[in-house]
Amino acid sequence: MRPVALSPYLRKHRLGFTLIELMVTVSVVAILGALAVPSLRGFFVRNAFSSIGNEFQGSLLRARNEAVSKNICATMCMSNTVDAAVPFCKQSGQDWQVGWIVFMNPSCDVDYGKNASTKAVAAADMILVRRAGNPDYALMAQSSTRKMMFNARGNVGLSTADRFDLTYTDTQLELKYGFNICLDTMGRSRSIPVTSTCTY
């Protein structure tokens, strides 16, 4: 049986894309990509804000629940270094994005976890370690709160309420997607819009 001969039209179009077709395709993809980038950036920023806020409030709730359920004190503090073998509480600064730790505090000692030597947190007492986050974001304590210690009733030893502001290097996106976290003297937290103030 003789093979079927292909027409010149079919032979021409079996060779692949022409240069013009390839250039048009690349141009269309580039235009669509340029249109999608701003939306994708906003999506990632919004998700990052939600993740940081949820982690922070979830850690607060975890510390409070552990204190109540085990009938002892629990502490949550800004971490001085989470890369060391024994993380401990940071004594300065306002940005919680450096990381934080939550640990049981059986003796309700306000200095427990203060340093890595005489007041180091025992491994058995450590509940969670949150490592440093993206430096483009910040979680700023407006009253310089660096430590919260919950007692067995779930109350936190704060003399005043505090507000934690989630910020980002791009202020326009911060105003669009950011929010603040209010923490009252009882240790209860809630989220509010970035332009609002905490009322207790």
Classify residue 156 by its DSSP letter: B
d(CA 49, CA 90): 23
Q: What is the pLDDT of residue 13?
A: 52
Report H helices in the chain: 8-13, 19-70, 171-177
Task: Give the dihedral sign, CA 178/154/160/77.
Answer: negative
**pTM of this prediction exceeds 0.85:** no
Q: What is the pLDDT of residue 74?
A: 94
* Consecutive 10-residue averages of pLDDT for the chain (200 residues): 56 64 78 65 86 93 92 92 73 90 91 84 90 90 88 80 87 85 85 81
Q: What is the pLDDT of residue 42?
A: 80
Phi then psi dihedrals of residue 147, to 5 deg = -150, 140
The residue written with tokens 């270094």 in the block is 81
Which domains, from first to last, does the chain contain? 22-192 (3.55.40.10)
d(CA 49, CA 67): 27
Structure tokens that stand for 148 in this block: 């919260």
Q: What is the pLDDT of residue 57?
A: 93
